[in-house]
């Protein structure tokens, strides 16, 4: 469809049915009209027996009127109307064809590019079989169905109307005669059918299937002809009738009467008697679904509606009291009774909608325009008190007593904050600076609390308790209790919230309820106050409605409805959440139904729905909703006065709106008739190309998006329709939508799909009759089954080829690996995850003379030196158990029986899960390296011995001291023993000193022996500060002889290192002696310092104040045979560097800023968990 415009409704009018006060609008009825009305009366009395009996319940209804003009988007000059099966209202005229969905007017544009014969339309017809027939002012027919237009013959004159028989044959009356469409084309009906020549003004079928036609031009005498079903011969029923049309039933069939339609001056007609004849008239007449007759007089620009009771006056030849007239002048073919019971008319200005509503607007003698404040309270005998105040007049209001539909003004100059009936059947009303108390027929003025006299404008709500006390809220200014003429703030209670009270209510159990803002509620039960809030699941926002007939209390507010029952709140949800927003009035009928007055309108909920919602918190209630489109003239107030809904003593329900009061009689009101809106799929497009919505559609390959447009039209309340849709192949659940928004599915793969969409009625009940659409997206050639099979076969062949290629590649790589493995200059082997051998290379076999054995232990026993075997077996077992690499030195036996040293390494190969799947091992010959190490060890020993030789004098001095001490203490002990008596205490002390001196001498001798002794290197955990202390003690004598003082600066908490203690002592001794030698001539200070180094190492520094390093030769002093001493060998520093580097450290020298030099060396700290000392192999 083309561009659409949103409509804005005009102010509507309401007229009560059967209002005799409207007799001033009566018009004259001619004798001819009286005769036809008598006939109409007879027919309707037969079809509707209640017409002349007791007034049916539908008398308690009111007629509402909506209109749309050019300003609201409607076309002007609407000459014809029709409503198709999909619910759309079609409008035709000289401006073209328009479609109306109750909200928007859309000028017709075919999505397929089809065009109508003309833009000047004269008649429309929506056959029950579907589609839309179009007749043109200048002749021709078109048929519109699912967006497609089929045009037929033109030049046949103006088309005056259509009709369809039971066989689906369509008939048309035109200025050129009678036409018939037999599913293939239009045929002109002539003498072969005994049809008279001349224009046909109207054509239609009656309820018996008889075709009737009025032959003749407009405003000229006409012949009435008919065709019985199944025959092909027209007969004349009457000639020269001074009429212009039929009277139409609601389903657009011809209304007939069981009398012969003879009129004065008629010509000769057929002598064949028929059961009934059409009711004809010069006026346009139709019957609505409420059995009222709508008449558009030919001589007056008005539309009249005859209520059912007026037909009795016509039968008695009396002037009927025409209850309603409307100032519209519709076109003859622009009159229609819609499928929902709406009465539609089209005129020069636009379109008009008339409808029936059970909501009766209360009229007042004096009513100001605009918004109003109305407080309601019920009296006895069905009477209601209404305080009516205009928002334009801030405080003043008039009080009316309404009884029997008539409002009588009683007491002026009140305010409309509240109206309340106390348990003692007296009434309370708000007033200026006071309250009015109605006792019997007397209004008694009650003064407000002195401090609140000028705050009367804030009077909010009122209630009474079982003790006869009155509770009055002044909003945010406080709560007061009136008892025995005394006002007490908050009734003298401290447990009531000091907040603004919006509403008060006293239930049948005597509990007083106070509603506050922000979901706060307080209940005064006897002498106890209970408070509730959001933490108690009360979540309705500002509380603006409280009601209940028993212990269960209903709480309404801004955001919903909840029931309070035995201390718990039960939240109620509706199919449309807006129906429960802004509730300011609640009435529970004796039958258990709820009537709510809210900002969306009036909502009626059946007891059964309430029971379901209370049993299942997820249940969403349905109900009867009355909004603007159902005749509601305004919305409920949200501030005051409360409540906005009450029940009268006669059972009628009264609702206060912003601009008036309406009432409804639930006893006479049947559930609002809701005709399910027919859901139809309007159009389907694939990649922006439109397709007719056929039951099965096929879209081309590569379709990337499919869009489906659907709609369900309610002309009564279009916004109340909800939708849910589902594509069965992709959607697990229904998707709900509040509007008929097109659904787009993107990137659907090829295949068959089934789309379903369903609509609700205006009360939210799903229709249960979804519209279905099946469509297929064709696959591309590469998406077909045969192509996929071929592709799979080709893929398998390709993979097989890749597999074979990979096998060959792996075999080549395996050969290369074996060649490399066999030719590496080391013994190598491959083992399994356990202690198994899978492969031994050629070098192993040639060296050991052993081939691959079944038992690896036997192989190792034969090849490894017996002294190394036990150690290797233990380390290998530990490595296999932990999965960690292992590196060991061992001796392997050669084929000639000689053993040579090898460095063996075993490394694991792991899979993705970290599991060891294979071990790779090598053994590299290190015999030459071992010999070099032995030579280096011999050289180091020689260096130590020679150095110790140089220290003989100082060492002898060191030994002499403890020996002298020993001798002196021994002699002293002898003297103490020779005393009489012997002094055993002194002897004991002397003996202890002898032991100390002996221990010192023993330690010196042990250190000397360890330095002299030639032993294998032994790595162990060593505390570097302890080793330095030992060397200071050893070299102290040498330092003293050369006037050198030794100073140590050990760092605290240094980690231990893994080192050979003797070798470490040798390095320190060499460095410290070199420092002492450098200060031999001048004396000085030798400083030994420790501290943390880089990367977790330990840094040791030996600093002197001697002659310093030779200029430009600082790096050469570490070379072998390079010395700066006259008698030096040049090996000390070279050996020291090799020892440090063998321990993983570094040795270097730097010059001091002043005199002397500093030698630094680093050693790696031992890990947190270190293996016990192990003898080097």
pLDDT at 507 over 80: yes
Q: Which residue has the higher pLDDT, 476 or 961?
A: 476
pLDDT at 1162 over 70: yes
Could you write out the DSSP letters of every residue in 156-205? S--EEEEEE-TTS-EEEEETTEEEEE-SS-EEEE-GGGTPPSS-EEEEEE
Nearest to 665 by CA among 54, 59, 65: 59
Check whether the bond before 643 is cis (ω within 30° of 0). yes
Highest mean pLDDT among 367-376, 385-394, 1069-1078, 1082-1091: 1082-1091
C-alpha distances out from residue 557 to 221, 605, 890, 1130, Å:
66, 17, 93, 104
Q: What mean pLDDT, rounded, does the chain reach? A: 84
Q: Which residue has the higher pLDDT, 426 or 811?
A: 426
Q: What is the pLDDT of residue 44?
A: 42
pLDDT at 664 over 50: yes
* 677 Cβ neighbours under 8 A, 6+ residues apart: 87, 712, 713, 714, 721, 759, 760, 761, 762, 767
Class of 679-780 per CATH?
A: mainly beta
Q: What is the pLDDT of residue 396?
A: 80
Q: What is the pLDDT of residue 959?
A: 61
C-alpha distances out from residue 642 to 543, 565, 583, Å:
11, 23, 10
pLDDT at 729 over 90: yes
pTM of the model: 0.64
Rounded-to-integer distance, Cα 1152 and Cα 650, Å: 118
Q: What is the pLDDT of residue 1172?
A: 45
Q: What is the pLDDT of residue 1121?
A: 59
Contact 954, 1037 (CB under 8 A): yes
Q: What is the pLDDT of residue 821?
A: 75
pLDDT at 496 over 80: yes
pLDDT band at 1174 (very low <50, low <70, confident <90, very high): very low
Contact 1120, 1130 (CB under 8 A): yes
CATH 3.40.50.450, domain 365-664, yes or no: no
Strands in 841-953 per DSSP E: 886-893, 899-910, 916-925
C-alpha distances out from residue 105 to 74, 718, 719, 1147, Å:
6, 13, 15, 99
Rounded-to-integer distance, Cα 267 and Cα 692, Å: 53
pLDDT at 34 over 50: no
Q: Which residue has the higher pLDDT, 721 or 411?
A: 721
Q: What is the pLDDT of residue 269?
A: 47
Nearest to 314 by CA among 324, 302, 305, 322: 322
Q: What is the pLDDT of residue 311?
A: 41
- For the segment 999-1004, the average pLDDT, to the nearest whole number, is 66
* Within this chain, domains 824-920 and 1018-1177 share the same CATH topology: no
pLDDT at 954 over 80: no
Rounded-to-integer distance, Cα 490 and Cα 496, Å: 7
Rounded-to-integer distance, Cα 100 and Cα 351, Å: 10
Strand partners, 904: 888, 923
Q: What is the pLDDT of residue 1011?
A: 55
Rounded-to-integer distance, Cα 654 and Cα 389, Å: 17
Element (H, E) at 1032: helix 1024-1041
Q: What is the pLDDT of residue 1176?
A: 40
Q: Which residue has the higher pLDDT, 486 or 928?
A: 486
Rounded-to-integer distance, Cα 28 and Cα 299, Å: 11
Give the three-state DSSP class for 543: strand
Q: What is the 3-state secondary structure (H, E, C) of 730-794?
A: CCCCCEEECCCCCEEEECCCCEEEEEEEEEECCCCCECCCCEEEEEEECCCHHHCHHHHHHHHHH
Q: H-type helices in 1095-1152, by residue range?
A: 1132-1142
CATH 2.60.40.1730, domain 1018-1177, yes or no: no
Give the three-state DSSP class for 1170: coil
Q: What percent of the chain has pLDDT over 90?
A: 47
Contact 125, 161 (CB under 8 A): yes
838 CA to centre of own chain: 62
pLDDT in tens, 747-763: 999 999 999 999 988 88
pLDDT at 477 over 90: yes
C-alpha distances out from residue 973 to 419, 967, 987, Å:
126, 10, 5
With b for 16 or more beta-carbon neighbours within 10 A and e for fewer, the 851-860 pattern comes to: eeeeebeebb
- For the segment 974-983, the average pLDDT, to the nearest whole number, is 82
CATH number of the structural domain 926-1015:
1.10.287
C-alpha distances out from residue 782 to 283, 739, 785, 798, Å:
70, 39, 8, 18
With b for 16 or more beta-carbon neighbours within 10 A and e for fewer, the 144-169 pattern comes to: bebbebebbeeebbbbbbbbbbeeee
CA end-to-end span of the chain: 98
C-alpha distances out from residue 90 to 174, 582, 1071, 1082, 1120, Å:
21, 37, 114, 126, 116
C-alpha distances out from residue 854 to 564, 845, 892, 893, 916, Å:
87, 15, 19, 20, 21
pLDDT band at 57 (very low <50, low <70, confident <90, very high): very low
- For the segment 1116-1136, the average pLDDT, to the nearest whole number, is 67
Q: Which residue has the higher pLDDT, 425 or 1034?
A: 425
Q: What is the pLDDT of residue 380?
A: 86
- For the segment 108-130, the average pLDDT, to the nearest whole number, is 94
Give the three-state DSSP class for 838: strand
- For the segment 17-28, the average pLDDT, to the nearest whole number, is 37
Of the given ranges (189-203, 207-221, 320-334, 906-920), which has the lowest mean pLDDT? 320-334
Give the three-state DSSP class for 43: helix
687: left (phi over 0), alpha (psi -120 to 50) or beta: left
Rounded-to-integer distance, Cα 162 and Cα 154, Å: 16
Class of 20-264+274-356 per CATH?
A: mainly beta
- For the segment 534-560, the average pLDDT, to the nearest whole number, is 95
pLDDT band at 48 (very low <50, low <70, confident <90, very high): very low
Q: Pairing between strand 1084-1092 and 1044-1049?
A: parallel
Nearest to 1015 by CA among 1066, 1073, 967: 1066
Q: What is the pLDDT of residue 50?
A: 34
pLDDT in tens, 1071-1115: 888 888 888 888 899 999 999 988 889 999 999 998 888 776 666
Q: Which CATH superfamily is domain 824-920 in?
A: PAS domain (3.30.450.20)
* 432 Cβ neighbours under 8 A, 6+ residues apart: 395, 396, 413, 414, 415, 456
Residue 76, classified by CB atoms within 10 Å of its CB into exposed (0-12), middle (13-18) or buried (19+), is middle
CB atoms within 10 A of CB 1094: 7
Element (H, E) at 426: none
Check whether the bond before 560 is cis (ω within 30° of 0). no
Rounded-to-integer distance, Cα 494 and Cα 492, Å: 7
Q: Taking the domains of the chain in order of start, what are their residue ranges?
A: 20-264+274-356, 365-664, 679-780, 824-920, 926-1015, 1018-1177
R_g (Cα) of the chain, nearest Å: 58
pLDDT in tens, 409-455: 887 678 889 999 999 999 999 999 999 999 998 999 999 999 999 99
Nearest to 1083 by CA among 1109, 1047, 1045, 1049: 1045
Q: What is the pLDDT of residue 312?
A: 44
């Amino acid at each position: 469809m083309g561009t659409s415009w949103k409509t804005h409704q005009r102010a509507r009018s309401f007229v009560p049915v059967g209002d005799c006060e409207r007799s001033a609008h009566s018009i004259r009825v001619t004798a001819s009209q009286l005769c036809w009305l008598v006939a109409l009366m007879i027919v309707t009395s037969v079809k509707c027996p209640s017409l002349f009996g007791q007034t049916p319940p539908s008398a308690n209804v009111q007629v509402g009127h909506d209109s749309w003009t050019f300003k609201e988007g409607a076309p002007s000059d609407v000459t014809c109307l029709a409503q198709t099966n999909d619910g759309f209202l079609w409008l035709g005229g000289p401006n073209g064809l328009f479609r109306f969905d109750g909200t928007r007017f859309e000028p017709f544009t075919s999505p397929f590019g089809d065009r109508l014969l003309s833009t000047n339309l004269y008649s429309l017809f929506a056959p029950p079989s579907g589609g839309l027939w179009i007749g043109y002012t200048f002749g021709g027919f078109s048929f519109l169905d699912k967006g497609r237009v089929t045009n037929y013959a033109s030049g046949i004159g103006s088309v005056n109307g259509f009709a369809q028989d039971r066989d689906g044959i369509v008939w048309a009356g035109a200025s050129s005669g009678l036409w018939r469409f037999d599913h293939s084309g239009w045929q002109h009906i002539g003498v072969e059918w005994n049809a008279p020549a001349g224009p046909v003004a109207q054509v239609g079928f009656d309820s018996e299937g008889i075709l009737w036609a009025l032959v003749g031009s407009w405003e000229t005498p006409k012949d009435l002809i008919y065709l019985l079903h199944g025959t092909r011969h027209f007969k004349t029923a009457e000639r020269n009738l001074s009429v212009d049309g039929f009277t139409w039933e609601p389903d657009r069939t011809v209304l007939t009467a069981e009398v012969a339609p003879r009129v004065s001056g008629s010509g000769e007609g057929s002598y064949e008697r028929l059961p009934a004849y059409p009711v004809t008239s010069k006026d346009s007449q139709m019957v609505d679904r409420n059995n009222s007759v709508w008449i558009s007089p030919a001589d007056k620009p008005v539309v009249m509606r005859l209520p059912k009771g007026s037909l009795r006056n016509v039968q008695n030849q009396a002037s009927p009291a025409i209850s309603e007239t409307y100032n519209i002048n519709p076109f003859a073919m622009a009159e229609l009774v819609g499928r929902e019971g709406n009465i539609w008319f089209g005129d020069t200005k636009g379109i008009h909608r008339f409808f029936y509503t059970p909501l009766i607007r209360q009229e007042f003698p004096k009513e100001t325009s605009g918004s109003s404040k109305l407080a309601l309270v019920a009296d006895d005998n069905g009477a209601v008190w209404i305080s009516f105040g205009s928002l334009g007049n801030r405080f003043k209001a008039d009080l009316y007593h309404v009884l029997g539909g008539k409002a009588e003004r009683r007491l002026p100059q009140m305010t409309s904050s509240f109206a309340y009936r106390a348990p003692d059947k007296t009434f309370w009303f708000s007033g200026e600076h006071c309250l009015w108390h109605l006792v019997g027929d007397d209004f008694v003025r009650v003064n407000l609390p002195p401090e609140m006299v000028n705050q009367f404008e804030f009077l909010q709500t009122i209630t009474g308790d079982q003790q006869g006390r009155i509770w009055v809220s002044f909003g945010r200014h406080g709560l007061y209790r009136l008892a025995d003429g005394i006002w007490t703030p908050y009734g003298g209670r401290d447990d009531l919230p000091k907040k603004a009270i919006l509403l008060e209510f006293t239930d049948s159990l005597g509990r007083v309820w106070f509603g506050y803002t922000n979901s706060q509620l307080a209940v005064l039960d006897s002498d106890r106050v209970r408070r509730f809030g959001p933490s108690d699941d009360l979540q309705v926002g500002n509380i603006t409605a409280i009601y209940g007939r028993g212990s269960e209390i209903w709480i309404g507010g801004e955001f919903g409805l909840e029931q309070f029952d035995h201390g718990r709140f039960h939240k109620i949800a509706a199919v449309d959440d807006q129906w429960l927003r802004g509730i300011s009035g609640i009435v529970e009928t004796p039958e258990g139904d709820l009537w709510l007055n809210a900002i969306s309108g009036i909502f009626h909920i059946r007891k059964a729905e309430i029971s379901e919602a209370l049993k299942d918190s997820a249940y969403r209630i349905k109900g009867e909703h009355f909004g603007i489109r159902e005749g509601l003239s305004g919305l409920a107030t949200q501030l005051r006065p409360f409540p906005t809904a009450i029940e009268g003593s006669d059972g009628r329900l009264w609702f206060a709106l912003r601009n008036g009061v309406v009432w409804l009689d639930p006893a006479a009101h049947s559930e609002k008739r809701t005709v399910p809106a027919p859901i139809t799929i309007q159009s389907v497009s694939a990649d922006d190309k439109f397709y007719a919505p056929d039951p099965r559609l096929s879209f081309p390959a590569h379709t990337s998006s499919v869009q489906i447009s659907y709609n369900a039209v309610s002309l009564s309340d279009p916004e109340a329709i909800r939708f849910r849709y589902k594509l069965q192949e992709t959607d697990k659940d229904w998707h709900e939508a509040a509007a008929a928004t097109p659904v787009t599915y993107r990137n659907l793969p090829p295949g068959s799909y089934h789309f379903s969409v369903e609509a609700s009625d205006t009360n939210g009940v799903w229709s249960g009759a979804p519209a279905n659409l099946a469509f297929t997206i064709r696959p591309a050639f590469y998406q077909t089954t045969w192509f996929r099979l071929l592709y799979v076969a080709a893929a398998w062949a390709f993979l097989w080829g890749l597999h074979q290629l990979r096998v060959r590649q792996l075999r080549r790589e395996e050969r290369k690996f074996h060649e490399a493995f066999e030719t590496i200059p080391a013994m190598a082997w491959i083992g399994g995850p356990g202690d198994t051998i899978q492969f031994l290379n050629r070098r192993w076999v040639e060296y050991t003379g052993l081939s691959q054995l079944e038992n690896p232990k036997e192989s190792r026993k034969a090849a490894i030196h017996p002294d190394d075997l036990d150690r290797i077996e233990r380390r290998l077992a530990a490595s296999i158990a932990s999965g960690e690499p292992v590196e060991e030195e061992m001796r392997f036996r050669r084929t000639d029986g000689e053993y040579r040293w090898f460095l063996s390494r075993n490394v694991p190969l792991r899979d993705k899960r970290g599991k060891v799947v294979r071990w790779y091992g090598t053994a590299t010959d290190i015999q030459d390296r071992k010999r070099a190490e032995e030579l280096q060890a011999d050289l180091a020993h020689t260096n130590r011995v020679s150095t110790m030789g140089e220290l003989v004098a100082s060492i002898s001095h060191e030994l002499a001291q403890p020996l002298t001490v020993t001798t002196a203490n021994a002699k002293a002990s002898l003297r103490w023993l020779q005393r009489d008596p012997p002094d055993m205490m002194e002897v004991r002390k002397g003996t202890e000193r002898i032991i100390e001196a002996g221990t010192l001498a023993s330690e010196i001798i042990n250190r000397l022996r360890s330095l002299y002794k030639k032993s294998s290197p032994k790595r162990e955990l060593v505390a570097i500060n302890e080793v330095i202390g030992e060397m200071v003690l050893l070299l102290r004598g040498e330092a003293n002889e050369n006037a050198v003082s030794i100073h140590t600066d050990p760092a605290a908490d240094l980690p231990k290192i893994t080192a050979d203690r003797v070798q470490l002592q040798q390095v320190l001794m060499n460095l410290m002696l070199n420092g002492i030698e450098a200060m031999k001539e001048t004396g000085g200070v030798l400083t030994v310092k420790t501290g943390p180094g880089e990367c977790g190492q330990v840094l040791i520094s030996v600093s002197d104040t001697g002659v310093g390093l030779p200029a430009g030769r600082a790096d050469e002093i570490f070379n072998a045979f390079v010395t700066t001493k006259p008698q030096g060998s040049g090996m000390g520093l070279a050996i020291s560097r090799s020892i440090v580097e063998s321990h993983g450290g570094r040795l270097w020298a730097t010059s001091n800023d002043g005199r002397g030099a500093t030698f630094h060396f680093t050693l790696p700290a031992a890990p947190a968990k270190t293996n016990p000392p192990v003898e080097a192999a």
